[in-house]
Amino acid sequence: MSVNKEVKRITTRSLQEMKNRKEKIAMLTAYDYSMATILDDAGLDVLLVGDSASNVMAGHETTLPITLDQMIYHAQSVVRGASRALVLVDLPFGTYQGNSKEALSSAIRIMKESGAHGVKLEGGTEIVESVQRIITAGIPVMGHLGLTPQSIYKFGTYTVRAKEEAEAFKLRTDAKALQEAGCFGVVLEKIPAALAKEVSEELFIPTIGIGAGPHCDGQVLVVNDMIGLTKGFKPRFLRQYVNLYEGILGAAQSYIKDVKSNDFPNEKEQY
Ligand code: KIV
């Protein structure tokens, strides 16, 4: 049963107020209606329809293949399940890097067709013009710095970013540029905790960390990792709260056994 149906919606302003009063922001990814309903009932502040759907829902190796239409489909399902959480949607690879006009039309499609409440884009100063244009149209934007998985072929690896001074300096410059452009928050992915602390203190807007230590204003995880659905994926930053892979595997094995042995359905499970 849903418990949040009468609750006021979290807004970008609520997130700013949470940072101001030092209340941490809890964010998880979601890609479908059922999961969104559970996470919304649990009280998550933000549900991110991440392009990690490309990995965990579609089985691709990277986030690059997922399309705008596919992101909109996932976002529509999540929006239908979320009555309290703010729903953000990733602009997928290839739908905003070309120019700011393309970025705006992709963001408008997401907002119009899914009913989500904002978008997230990967990148720093190089996408500031697009960020400004989207925000000018009234669409809230969250930035994403550090490990930006859409650039995996440029990085060549998923290891920690901005360990060297030059990259750390660029990240701090990018974070300030995104804030000045009007972003309401920024994700910091897989960077040293000390750097995330500096950025979180320098910015007045909230930072949301993933593999970026405890000093960010909020935390995000990919829900499938956090509930143990992604077999064998255990990076150091991940806290796995339940092992659903084992749970579902066991349930499926019991079901097979019951069907094969003619135990299911029994007398009470028929008409
Ligand atoms: O796509 C995603 O899941 C993300 C989070 C890791 C922040 O961008």
Give domain status of residue 20, yes or no: yes
Q: Is the pLDDT of residue 3 over 70?
A: no
User: Is 189 known to be catalytic?
Assistant: yes
Side-chain half-sphere CA neighbours of 49 within 13 A: 36
Tens of pLDDT, residue by residue over 30-65, are 999 999 999 999 999 999 999 999 999 999 999 999
User: What is the distance between the alpha carbons of residues 170 and 162, in angstroms, rounded to a whole number?
Assistant: 8
Q: Are residues 257 and 231 in the same domain?
A: no
Residue type, 213: G
Which residue's C-alpha comes closest to atom 5 of ligand 1? Answer: 50
Give domain status of residue 1, yes or no: no
Domain around 208: 12-240
Give domain status of residue 57, yes or no: yes
Helix 68-81 × helix 33-42 angle, to 10°: 50
Q: Are residues 164 and 260 in the same domain?
A: no
Which residue's C-alpha comes closest to atom 4 of ligand 1? Answer: 50
Q: Helix count (H) and strand count (E) of the chain?
A: 11, 8
Cβ atoms of residues 240 and 226 within 8 Å:
yes
Count of domains forming the chain: 2
- Sorting pLDDT into bands at 50, 70 and 90, what band is 5? low
CB contact set of 5 (below 8 Å; sequence gap of 6+):
83
Q: Is the pLDDT of residue 4 over 90?
A: no
Tens of pLDDT, residue by residue over 211-256, are 999 999 999 999 999 999 999 899 999 999 999 999 999 999 999 9
Q: Are residues 54 and 26 in the same domain?
A: yes
Tokens of 91: 């602009």
Give the distance from CA 209 to its chain's centroid. Answer: 11
Nearest to 25 by CA among 210, 217, 269: 217
User: What is the distance between the alpha carbons of residues 260 and 108, in angstroms, rounded to a whole number?
Assistant: 51
Give domain status of residue 4, yes or no: no
Tens of pLDDT, residue by residue over 126-155, are 999 999 999 999 999 999 999 999 999 999
Which residue's C-alpha comes closest to atom 2 of ligand 1? Answer: 50
Give domain status of residue 229, yes or no: yes
Q: With left for phi above 0 and alpha for psi between -120 and 50, is residue 10 left, alpha or beta?
A: beta
- CATH number for the domain including 27? 3.20.20.60
Q: Are residues 53 and 120 in the same domain?
A: yes
Q: Are residues 164 and 220 in the same domain?
A: yes
Give domain status of residue 5, yes or no: no
Residue type, 62: T
User: What is the distance between the alpha carbons of residues 32 and 83, in angstroms, rounded to a whole number?
Assistant: 14
Tokens of 125: 């100063």
Q: Judging by beta carbons within 10 Å of its beta carbon (0-12, 13-18, 19+), is residue 136 exposed, middle or buried?
A: exposed
- Give backbone dihedrals phi and psi of 99, rounded to 5 degrees, phi first: -165, 170
Q: Are residues 175 and 271 in the same domain?
A: no
**pLDDT for the residue 7:** 81
Mutate to test the pocket of ligand 1, among 28, 210, 233 (most ligand atoms within 8 A of CB): 210
Mutate to test the pocket of ligand 1, among 25, 28, 29 (most ligand atoms within 8 A of CB): 29
Q: Are residues 117 and 228 in the same domain?
A: yes
pTM of the model: 0.96
Averaged pLDDT score across all residues of the chain: 97
Q: Are residues 83 and 17 in the same domain?
A: yes
Give domain status of residue 179, yes or no: yes
Q: Are residues 199 and 264 in the same domain?
A: no
Q: Are residues 149 and 271 in the same domain?
A: no
Q: Are residues 258 and 236 in the same domain?
A: no
Q: Are residues 255 and 158 in the same domain?
A: no
